[in-house]
Amino acid sequence: MHELGVVYRNIVRANREAADRLGDFGSATVHEAMGRLGLLKPYMRPIYAGAQVSGTAVTVLLHPGDNWMLHVAAEQIRDGDIVVAAITADCTDGYFGDLLATSFKARGARALIIDAGVRDVKMLTEMSFPVWSKAISSKGTIKATVGSVNVPVVCAGALITPGDVIVADDDGVVCVPASRAAEMAEAAAAREANEGAKRAKLAAGVLGLDMYGMREPLARAGLRYVD
Amino acid sequence: MHELGVVYRNIVRANREAADRLGDFGSATVHEAMGRLGLLKPYMRPIYAGAQVSGTAVTVLLHPGDNWMLHVAAEQIRDGDIVVAAITADCTDGYFGDLLATSFKARGARALIIDAGVRDVKMLTEMSFPVWSKAISSKGTIKATVGSVNVPVVCAGALITPGDVIVADDDGVVCVPASRAAEMAEAAAAREANEGAKRAKLAAGVLGLDMYGMREPLARAGLRYVD
Amino acid sequence: MHELGVVYRNIVRANREAADRLGDFGSATVHEAMGRLGLLKPYMRPIYAGAQVSGTAVTVLLHPGDNWMLHVAAEQIRDGDIVVAAITADCTDGYFGDLLATSFKARGARALIIDAGVRDVKMLTEMSFPVWSKAISSKGTIKATVGSVNVPVVCAGALITPGDVIVADDDGVVCVPASRAAEMAEAAAAREANEGAKRAKLAAGVLGLDMYGMREPLARAGLRYVD
Amino acid sequence: MHELGVVYRNIVRANREAADRLGDFGSATVHEAMGRLGLLKPYMRPIYAGAQVSGTAVTVLLHPGDNWMLHVAAEQIRDGDIVVAAITADCTDGYFGDLLATSFKARGARALIIDAGVRDVKMLTEMSFPVWSKAISSKGTIKATVGSVNVPVVCAGALITPGDVIVADDDGVVCVPASRAAEMAEAAAAREANEGAKRAKLAAGVLGLDMYGMREPLARAGLRYVD
Amino acid sequence: MHELGVVYRNIVRANREAADRLGDFGSATVHEAMGRLGLLKPYMRPIYAGAQVSGTAVTVLLHPGDNWMLHVAAEQIRDGDIVVAAITADCTDGYFGDLLATSFKARGARALIIDAGVRDVKMLTEMSFPVWSKAISSKGTIKATVGSVNVPVVCAGALITPGDVIVADDDGVVCVPASRAAEMAEAAAAREANEGAKRAKLAAGVLGLDMYGMREPLARAGLRYVD
Amino acid sequence: MHELGVVYRNIVRANREAADRLGDFGSATVHEAMGRLGLLKPYMRPIYAGAQVSGTAVTVLLHPGDNWMLHVAAEQIRDGDIVVAAITADCTDGYFGDLLATSFKARGARALIIDAGVRDVKMLTEMSFPVWSKAISSKGTIKATVGSVNVPVVCAGALITPGDVIVADDDGVVCVPASRAAEMAEAAAAREANEGAKRAKLAAGVLGLDMYGMREPLARAGLRYVD
């Protein structure tokens, strides 16, 4: 947060297998597994529906209206990374378009998470390069001021440390600390394990009230029925 | 509004035929027929494009971050209902996902209208279970506090009484009081009756100015033309 | 801005060829060519993805909740125009639907840009009549008060003079003054000329840092690398 | 909600004494006594600090940009009333200024609660006529369309029935149903009864943890301390 | 709007006497006299209550996060001017503080209207230098990019031409075109002429319904009373 | 961020003298000294004008609508601390009122910074206990779920580590890392040192253009003057 003008080249990335596995569960399940922490604010929306990705965070801290550091960040990308871009003040400018996407993709990036705007969304969609952003805007940016790469950043209200696992889909974006990636993948798997059985019961008309045994605690909490 | 901890089991639903018929007209025509009343605020958006539904309201009053009462509401659903969920304070959490949707659908619900967030939107889309909501969010909810089912609620700025007809499509969500459903279906039909003829004229290049006889009232209102 | 109750019939439209050519470049490229001016605020969003249009502005100034002047504007549309609608105060009502779209299209309009709401979006999508708006809303409007047609207006924070070129796509909406349309088309073409070569290099893994010669200025600006 | 063009002259007002007494407790205490229901959304702010009032609601339903019905409402005001104004769509126009305030005050009104804008705030402050509103705006309104007086309205997200008690102060605005006014005054008094003793203890350095016996439930909920 | 990097030194200011006179009426009365045009959006709020000013506009177009041109604007200020600052994209940074206020005041400026943020508000209040702004923020700005001075700008949704009259008070900010200043001062005076008599009548309990002869048109519009 | 249910009792607070000294400079000067980092979003506003404080951060992480952990935090307060409260999701409820303020004050707290709502603002003002918050709301909270005390939190978009220095005044709230407090106090002092001389020059009519030597760089950046 408190450091400008620095690029950290060596970061500790989360275990690749755990990172990939977390992506299969999706953001809602992972967020639950995390004890309902780590979620970016829901104003972060995908530029097209249907993308579901996970990867390790390369972070970048940018100034409003200035995308210079995205070029610096490109060099730090390794295969399987997701770039997470934070801005030092609120901004909706279009920091990122098809040229940078081409570069990021060539370097191995799977997605961009940016607390600002993006443009060329039609081409990004055709390229299948997903972006979660606060805005879509044609407004271009300058290249005048240095920020930082791979420092901890606050993006859309969540603290992201370089190397953390990012899980993003139509429901939103979640950050899992690198040190807890494997444990969280286990927890998410446990959550999902019996969802199929539950879904079948509910589809057959069984009520959650009965399946989860809620009638008694609801009555104890004072719920009453009136005919 | 002013009652917590109660479930009303017997509500008077609007006439089924009128409720179904209102859905064919769509929210804009019904809203006009209503004298431009009954519309929920336009921040209520469908999670996918193209759904058009109507049904009778089962209402539920929830607390911020707590979806317990949605399970209680599920039991009160009858075929052809639409669940309308209001929250006692602003909240964007994801109250509803694919498991509850499976349950609601099995009980006969046609849609959910919720003044909060929803998740699992990819699965809900695949299930063709439409939701109109204020937000999409992975954020889960707890089950700790009782609210009410089938009490009058304020949802997105509109008063909804249990049994009212809800009409929802890509343009928004409208509520028609149960007692006026048949009358409103007639009024909506009357509005639509001559739309085809109008459309043909306009498509042929006839101006609304002439078709509606607006030139004289515009001149009287002071409109002048400058060459 | 400061004139109500007037319709200017003779406006100077931008050169047609330049106007059409600008549309091919899209809003982001044109906005860059303009020196990053002329963009409408990014809350203006298309009602469906994929439309990309340009045309000459017919402007209309409306009152909140009153769409009367859209009928007056219809008569002033010529082939290749885009109607730009501004409101004298914030409003999200649905000013425009399928009947007006039928009329506008018959008169030769290519699109509507409106700093308010629109409805019948499913039909507008089926008709392929694109609209960029602030909101989607079933709420209808009255026809009671006169505004103006073809006066300069402020729409979504940008000054639009009748006859200006409007360029709109998934990234947003840009206005180019009529007197500068040809010059801006040249500037946009120049910007695009070498994008293909750049894209190929970036796709091959060349970094923007090297392609644009950024390493030296970044170092001079104080950027340092930490291993 | 669903009725336009009607003025109800005879409404059942809450008991005057209970209404007055509720005002002494302030909105926070009354809101707690109500089980945390009845609060208008917190965007409703007083035009000046320090006012604390209560009274019985005379409701008015207005159209966007049209304040005609405020004049109709004036005639229905009795001594001790508070006018509650709802709008059929979002609007920030200045519906109310010093002339209407003079009239309302002469009729016995104690305040205005309006889900829209107000103007002449300097004069209203000098007159000590408090207003809670969504906005302050010079924008005037027209007098063209009829709404209703003394119908139930949704104002800032809360259902207000004519005759209900309104309690408003620097913390916000709460509505108490007329039928529960006396009971709620009792409940509020009970809440306040031992606040003095609590305040003295806390001022002396006693912790809420001990005063409220929270240590044990916190430990049971899993809270742990790390040195 | 469409010009960067230019300072116009000779602008035609509105008649001084008319500009001063407009200030006495306040923004609401002037806005009415203007036919309800010329108002800046109501998010523009004074940093302290009670200021009421008018003056001739010196305009400045700034980039987000860059206040360089405010220093350029200072030189163009003449006694009786009000500086109106527009930004090319949304920004809440604190562009202006006590040092610039000292400079502006020494040059004869009466106020600043800025569609962005301001800081040092405690000192500005002590200096009695009023500012109407969108935000208050400690965030400083850089001095790197040129904008323009005394070009037409869009500020908070209104078009401001250099030399126009700005009227600002607790209710908001209105712009009167220089060419219409004298006429508008007359219109405002006419509006105010009989307000005193009206106020006296209303204070005596006469209803607006009777004073303005509204009962008959309301009945014609369909208003009915229910006992 | 990623830890719930823990209270850290031993935190390293910034040097007291440096913390106190930073308060004298105010948030704008400290924010500049920090290289324009560390600012909380400008929606954080004081509940009354004129307070200017600094202190060391005791942090607390709360759930939406649940203020239980504020009681836990009270015990960790030492003389000269400022409590910084973050919420795991957006919430405007009134978490804090006069009783908690009495307790916090008795424990030595100088202020509360909360990314949510507060109530009893009239009493807090009378007690001179300043609060910077996102909202003011009567809405009370429950005591049901454990969060954490003295973990790093994201509050209004800024990362706050326990023991950091908080500087807050009418312009906003800034966070200075504990390890940099002394250095930043020096930097702020250096910034202020020659402000008096500058202010005197500007008050005498000297232009910033000349005092800062801006004319030449502006010309080089392309600024031109038109008579």
- The strand pair at D53-62 and D81-87 is best described as parallel
What are residue A8's DSSP bridge partners? C226
Which chain B residue's Cα is nearest to A204?
A: B106
Q: Among partner residues E26, E198, E225, which is closest to D99 by beta-carbon distance? A: E198
Nearest residue to F134 (alpha-carbon basis) of F157, F105, F150: F157
Q: Do A37 and F154 touch (CB under 8 A)?
A: no
Q: Measured between beta carbons, which residues in chain F are less than 8 angstroms from residue D32?
A: 140
Q: D4 is written with which tokens?
A: 């336009």
Mean pLDDT over each residue of chain B, to the nearest integer:
96
- With beta carbons less than 8 A apart as the criterion, state whether F186 and F106 touch: no
Whether D2 shows a pLDDT value over 70: the answer reads no
Q: Among partner residues A2, A34, A154, which is closest to F177 by beta-carbon distance? A: A2
Geometric angle at alpha carbon A11, from A9 and A13, rounded to 5°: 140
Query: Position C221: which residue type?
Result: A
Kindly report, residue by residue over C4-63, the tens digit of the pLDDT. 899 999 999 999 999 999 999 999 999 999 988 999 999 999 999 999 999 999 999 999
Q: How many CB pairs under 8 A join B and C?
A: 109
Chain C contact partners (≥3 CB pairs within 8 A): A, B, D, E
Q: Do F169 and E136 touch (CB under 8 A)?
A: no
Q: Measured between beta carbons, which residues in chain A are less than 8 angstroms from residue C198?
A: 99
Nearest-CA distance E112 → chain F (Å): 17
Query: Residue B223's Cα: distance from chain center in Å?
Result: 38
Task: Outline where C34-180 has alpha helix (H).
Answer: 68-76, 98-107, 121-127
The rounded distance, in Å, linking the Cα atoms of E201 and E194 is: 11
User: What does each of the 227 residues of chain F score in pLDDT, given as a tens digit?
Assistant: 468 899 999 999 999 999 999 999 999 999 999 988 999 999 999 999 999 999 999 999 999 999 999 999 999 999 999 999 999 999 999 999 999 999 999 999 999 999 999 999 999 999 999 999 999 999 999 999 999 999 999 999 999 999 999 999 999 999 999 999 999 999 999 989 888 899 999 999 999 999 999 999 999 999 999 99
Nearest residue to E132 (alpha-carbon basis) of E203, E63, E50: E50
Q: Do E89 and A93 touch (CB under 8 A)?
A: yes
Nearest-CA distance A180 → chain F (Å): 10
Q: Do A35 and F4 touch (CB under 8 A)?
A: yes
Nearest-CA distance C90 → chain A (Å): 21
Query: Position E209: which residue type?
Result: L
What are residue B169's DSSP bridge partners? B172
pLDDT category of residue C3 using cuts at 50, 70 and 90? confident
Q: Do F64 and B63 touch (CB under 8 A)?
A: no
SS (H, E, C) chain B: CCCCCEEECCCCCCCHHHHHHHHHHHHHHHHHHCCCCCECCCCCEECCCCCCEEEEEEEEEEECCECHHHHHHHHHCCCCEEEEEEECCCCCCECCCHHHHHHHHHHCCCEEEEEEEECCHHHHHHHCCCEEEEEECCCCCECCCCCEECCCEEECCEEECCCCEEEEECCEEEEECHHHHHHHHHHHHHHHHCHHHHHHHHHCCCCHHHHCCCHHHHHHCCCEEEC
What lies within 8 Å, CB to CB, of D179 at 6+ separation is D14
State the pLDDT at residue C39.
Answer: 96
Q: Measured on CA atoms in the order A113, A118, A120, A122, is the torsion positive or negative?
A: positive
Chain C interface includes E178 (CB < 8 A): no
Residue C9 has phi, psi (to 5 degrees) of -85, -30
State the pLDDT at residue A3.
Answer: 81
Chain C interface includes A107 (CB < 8 A): yes
Nearest-CA distance E67 → chain C (Å): 17
Kindly report, residue by residue over D118-143, the tens digit of the pLDDT. 999 999 999 999 999 999 999 999 99
Q: Do F1 and A159 touch (CB under 8 A)?
A: yes
**Touch criterion met for C and A (3+ Cβ pairs within 8 Å):** yes
Chain E interface includes D99 (CB < 8 A): yes
- The strand pair at F131-136 and F45-46 is best described as antiparallel
The rounded distance, in Å, linking the Cα atoms of E95 and E63 is: 10
Nearest residue to C86 (alpha-carbon basis) of C185, C166, C29: C166
Q: Among partner residues B71, B75, B137, which is closest to A171 by beta-carbon distance? A: B137
Geometric angle at alpha carbon F215, from F213 and F220, rounded to 5°: 120
Q: Among partner residues A64, A92, A139, which is closest to E65 by beta-carbon distance? A: A64
Q: Do A122 and C170 touch (CB under 8 A)?
A: yes
**Touch criterion met for F and A (3+ Cβ pairs within 8 Å):** yes
Q: Do A99 and C36 touch (CB under 8 A)?
A: no
Nearest-CA distance A26 → chain C (Å): 25
Nearest-CA distance A118 → chain C (Å): 8
The pTM assigned to this predicted structure is 0.96
The rounded distance, in Å, linking the Cα atoms of E192 and E196 is: 8
Q: Measured between beta carbons, which residues in chain A are less than 8 angstroms from residue F152?
A: 159
- Quick one: which H or E segment has residue C19? helix C16-25
Q: Please count the helices (runs of H) and the strands (runs of E) in chain C.
A: 9, 12
Q: Among partner residues C92, C142, C145, which is closest to D90 by beta-carbon distance? A: C92
Q: A32 is written with which tokens?
A: 């639950």
Kindly report, residue by residue over D10-41, the tens digit of the pLDDT. 999 999 999 999 999 999 999 999 988 999 99
State the pLDDT at residue D3.
Answer: 81
Chain C interface includes B197 (CB < 8 A): no
The rounded distance, in Å, linking the Cα atoms of D52 and D29 is: 13
Chain C interface includes A8 (CB < 8 A): yes
DSSP F91-118: ---B---HHHHHHHHHHT--EEEEEEEE
Q: Measured between beta carbons, which residues in chain B are less than 8 angstroms from residue F63?
A: 65
Q: Do D38 and B180 touch (CB under 8 A)?
A: no
Q: Count other C-beta atoms under 10 Å from residue F219's C-beta.
A: 12
Chain E contact partners (≥3 CB pairs within 8 A): A, C, D, F
Q: Do D34 and B180 touch (CB under 8 A)?
A: no
The rounded distance, in Å, linking the Cα atoms of C157 and E88 is: 9
User: What does each of the 227 residues of chain E score in pLDDT, given as a tens digit?
Assistant: 468 899 999 999 999 999 999 999 999 999 999 988 999 999 999 999 999 999 999 999 999 999 999 999 999 999 999 999 999 999 999 999 999 999 999 999 999 999 999 999 999 999 999 999 999 999 999 998 999 999 999 999 999 999 999 999 999 999 999 999 999 999 999 988 888 899 999 999 999 999 999 999 999 999 999 99
- With beta carbons less than 8 A apart as the criterion, state whether D74 and D106 touch: no
Mean pLDDT over each residue of chain A, to the nearest integer:
96
Mean pLDDT within C76-81: 98
The rounded distance, in Å, linking the Cα atoms of E213 and E195 is: 16
Q: Measured between beta carbons, which residues in chain F are less than 8 angstroms from residue E105?
A: 203
State the pLDDT at residue F2.
Answer: 61
**Touch criterion met for A and B (3+ Cβ pairs within 8 Å):** yes
Chain B interface includes D180 (CB < 8 A): yes
- Quick one: which H or E segment has residue E179? none
Q: Among partner residues E171, E202, E222, which is closest to D138 by beta-carbon distance? A: E171
Nearest residue to F35 (alpha-carbon basis) of F139, F174, F223: F174
The rounded distance, in Å, linking the Cα atoms of D11 and A45 is: 48
Per-residue burial over B47-64, b = 16 or more CB atoms within 10 Å of its CB, e = otherwise:
bbbebbbbbbbbbbbbbb
Mean pLDDT over each residue of chain C, to the nearest integer:
96
Geometric angle at alpha carbon F90, from F87 and F93, rounded to 5°: 80
Chain B interface includes C75 (CB < 8 A): yes
- CA distances for E125 relative to C135, E121, E138, F49, F172, angstroms: 39, 6, 16, 11, 16
F181: three-class secondary structure by DSSP: helix
State the pLDDT at residue E2.
Answer: 61
Q: Measured between beta carbons, which residues in chain D are less than 8 angstroms from residue E202?
A: 99-100, 102-103, 106
- The strand pair at D111-118 and D131-136 is best described as parallel
Q: How many CB pairs under 8 A join C and E?
A: 41
What are residue A55's DSSP bridge partners? A166
State the pLDDT at residue C141.
Answer: 93
- With beta carbons less than 8 A apart as the criterion, state whether C103 and C21 touch: no
Residue B47 has phi, psi (to 5 degrees) of -75, -20
Q: Do D224 and F5 touch (CB under 8 A)?
A: yes
The rounded distance, in Å, linking the Cα atoms of A227 and B130 is: 30
State the pLDDT at residue F119.
Answer: 98
Q: E190 is written with which tokens?
A: 């006419």
- Please report the residues numbered 109 through 148 in chain C whose beta carbons come closer than 8 angstroms to any beta carbon of chain E: none
ipTM of the complex: 0.95
Q: Among partner residues A89, A92, A139, which is closest to E65 by beta-carbon distance? A: A89
Which chain C residue's Cα is nearest to A9?
A: C227
Whether C1 shows a pLDDT value over 80: the answer reads no
